[in-house]
Amino acid sequence: MPSRLKIIPDVVRDKKVCAMQPDGRVDEAARRMRFFKIGAIVVVDERGGMIGIVTERDITQRVVAERRDPTTVPLSDVMTPNPDALAPDDTAQDALDLMRLRGYRHLPVVDRGRLVGMVSVRDLYEVTRLALEQLIDRTQQPK
């Protein structure tokens, strides 16, 4: 099932991605994450090209745990630069494998150098759950 599901459109349907520039502050990123109910923000350059990613885990480990002031820390100090990314045609299984291998919970989706989405482990869980339910329904129907 996950091996056949494409990242776009099967997993990621809403192409909106929250992005900020590297000089943006960690406190603003945290507020945006809370407002949009997301766990990661993409860091982009002035042309909109992806240069990094900041996750809840980054904020916890690189700011809060180190007792740094989130109102003064720029995203460039805590982001993971040049993050791995998926292509729209990659499968849900590709995403799950990469997440498991590297310990990720979020992966940007890039199409021809342009950021087009973000996939989370929660997104993958949901489509896998739905696919399993459909499979069970099909196998339980009388023949």
DSSP readout, 11-33?
I-------EE-TTSBHHHHHHHH
**Of the candidate ranges 33-37, 102-106, 130-134, the one whose mean pLDDT is the lowest:** 130-134
Q: Give the range of the structural domain holding residue 86, as residue numbers without chain letter.
A: 7-140
- Return the ∠ at Cα 99 (arms to 98 and 105), rounded to 5°: 150
Would the pLDDT of 100 be above 90? yes
**Residues 70-94: what's their mean pLDDT?**
95
Q: Is the pLDDT of residue 20 over 80?
A: yes
Return the SS3 of 62. Answer: helix
SS3 at position 79: coil
Instruction: Answer whether residue 104 is part of any domain.
Output: yes
Has residue 17 got a pLDDT over 80?
yes
The pLDDT score that the predictor gives to residue 135 is 76
- What is the predicted pLDDT for the residue at 63? 98
Q: CB-based contacts of 89: which residues, under 8 Å, 6+ apart?
A: 6, 7, 8
Q: Specify if 105 maps to a domain.
A: yes
- Which pLDDT band, with edges at 50, 70 and 90, does 132 fall under? confident
Looking at the domain assignment, is residue 30 inside a domain?
yes
Structural tokens at position 35: 């407002």
**Domain assignment present for 1:** no
**Strands 19-20, 40-44: parallel, antiparallel or unpaired by DSSP?**
parallel
Structural domain count, the chain: 1
Residue pair 48/129 in contact by the 8 Å Cβ criterion: no
Q: Which of the four pLDDT bands, split at 50, 70 and 90, describes residue 137?
A: confident
Average pLDDT over residues 20-39: 96
pLDDT of residue 112: 86
CA distance 3 to 5: 6
CATH of the domain at 30: 3.10.580.10
Determine, yes or no, domain membership for 29.
yes
What predicted TM-score, i.e. pTM, was given to this entire model? 0.82
């023949």: which residue's tokens? 143
In a domain, 2, yes or no: no
